[in-house]
Structure 1
C-alpha cells in the first residue's frame, strides 16, 4: 500500500532545467576564470545553488549567488507552468489519502521562487531542499519516512535523474524514474532502473491505480 510519494522538482514537475542552466551561466560568467558551459553546470547538479556556484567560482561567489537569484526570477518565463497533467496527478494521489512531499536538490530560495511561479507553493505537506556540500536525497527520504512513520515499501520517489535512482537505492525505496522532460535520458534510466521508467504522466498515474 502506498502511503507517501515524494516528487523531485526540476525536470519532474516542470521543464526548468534549461532555465536553471541559463541562469547559472549568466550569473557566474563574470566571476569565473573561464567560460562557463552547460557541461560545467550539469556536473554540479545534485548540489543546491550555493554549492553549484561555489564549484565554478573561486572568488565573489556571494555576489554571483545574488546575481543568480535575479536571473533565475527573470528567466522563469522559460518555465511558466508545470508539465500538463502533473497537478492532476498530485490531486489524484491526495484523493487516495497519500502523503505528497517534495524532495529537491535546489536551495530553499530558488525552490520557493519556482513553486510560487507555478502556483505549487501550498501543494506539498513537506518540502526538503538540497545541500551545498553533497547530494542529500537519500538522507531526505529517510527523514521523511521516519517523521511520517512510513515503511520502505510504502514510499515512492518520483524523479528524472539517474542520481535519483541511486539515492533511492541507498535509502532502500523504489524510484519511479520519469522521462517526460526535454533533457530526459530514458535509455540511461532504463539501464539503472529498468522496471520503473515512465515516459508520460498518464503512465505513472496508471501505475498508482493498480
Structure 2
C-alpha cells in the first residue's frame, strides 16, 4: 500500500477505540441497557460474538432470553436505553489527535466516512462529547446491518453520494480491532491499525500497517 493519500482516497474509520476512548464505558452501557429491557441473562463475552455490533448483541441476548424474535421496535427502545445509560458515565473523550486529524481531512478535502457497530444516536453522542466532527450523511451503523461488512459497505456508498463520485482509487479502513482487519480483508480494502491494545494480535494476523497513535498515522500519509 502506497502511503500517499489524495482527494480520491477514502478513509473508513471505526469509532470506538479508534477515534473515541469509549470501549469500556460503552460495553457497560450496552449491558445495562439490555438489563433495562428486562433481559436477565446476558452473555458479556462480546469479543466472542459472531458480529461485533449493538444490533447483533441485542438480538442474540433478547431471543436467547425470551425465545421470540426481536423487532425494530425493541431495537429503538434499546437505542434510547443506551443513551440514558451513557448519561450516567463521564463524557467520552477522543483518542489523542483524532479530532485534529478529521479536521485536517475536511480542510484538505480528503474523503472519509465512519462505520461503527454502534447504533446511530450513541455513535453521534460519543463523537459530540469527544469534539470530533461527524455527519449522519457519512455515518453507517449496525441499525441497518448486524455484520460489519454490511455497514462498512453502506458507509462507502454514503461517501460516494456525499462526495459526488462514482468511486475511489483507494479505500483505507482504519481500526483498532481484529474484526476491523478481518472485514478489510474480506472486502479487499487496505487496512491501517491504530493504538496499542490489539497491536500484537493484529500484526500476527497480517496487519502490515500499524501505528501507535493517530499522529503517527497522519504523519505517514501526509508528511511533507
TM-score, normalised by the number of residues in structure 2? 0.75
Separation in structure 1 between the aligned mates of residue 194 and residue 177 of structure 2, nearest angstrom = 8
Aligned residue in 1 for 2:83: 69
> Counterparts of 1:103-118 in structure 2 under 5 Å?
103-118=115-130
Alignment equivalent of 2:61, drawn from 56, 65, 77: 56
> Counterparts of 1:14-33 in structure 2 under 5 Å?
14-29=20-35, 31-33=38-40
What is the CA-CA distance between 1:87 and the residue it aligns to?
Answer: 1.3
Matched, 1:158 2:163: no
- State the Cα deviation string for residues 87-118 of structure 1 (Å, max 9, x = none): 11222223332112211121112112222222
Pairwise CA RMSD: 2.8
Residues 120 and 145 (structure 1), Cα distance of their counterparts in 2 relative to 1, 3 Å cut: closer
Contact kept in structure 1, 2:114 and 2:155, CA below 8 Å:
no
Secondary structure (helix, strand or coil) at the match of 2:93 reads coil
Gaps of 5+ in 1: none
What is the CA-CA distance between 1:201 and the residue it aligns to?
Answer: 1.7
Separation in structure 1 between the aligned mates of residue 27 and residue 45 of structure 2, nearest angstrom = 9
Which shows bigger deviation, 81-90 or 14-23?
Answer: 81-90
Residues 9 and 118 (structure 1), Cα distance of their counterparts in 2 relative to 1, 3 Å cut: same
What is the CA-CA distance between 1:32 and the residue it aligns to?
Answer: 3.1
Contact kept in structure 1, 2:79 and 2:122, CA below 8 Å:
no
Contact kept in structure 1, 2:99 and 2:131, CA below 8 Å:
no
Matched, 1:179 2:195: yes
Aligned residue in 2 for 1:200: 213
Contact kept in structure 1, 2:139 and 2:158, CA below 8 Å:
no
Count of residue correspondences: 202
After TM superposition, which residue ranges in structure 1, 4 or more long, deviate above 6 angstroms? Answer: none
Residues 208 and 64 (structure 1), Cα distance of their counterparts in 2 relative to 1, 3 Å cut: closer
Contact kept in structure 1, 2:79 and 2:121, CA below 8 Å:
no
Separation in structure 2 between the aligned mates of residue 162 and residue 190 of structure 1, nearest angstrom = 10
Separation in structure 2 between the aligned mates of residue 74 and residue 44 of structure 1, nearest angstrom = 29
Alignment equivalent of 2:153, drawn from 139, 143, 168: 139
Residues 9 and 42 (structure 1), Cα distance of their counterparts in 2 relative to 1, 3 Å cut: farther
TM-score, normalised by the number of residues in structure 1? 0.80
Gaps of 5+ in 2: none
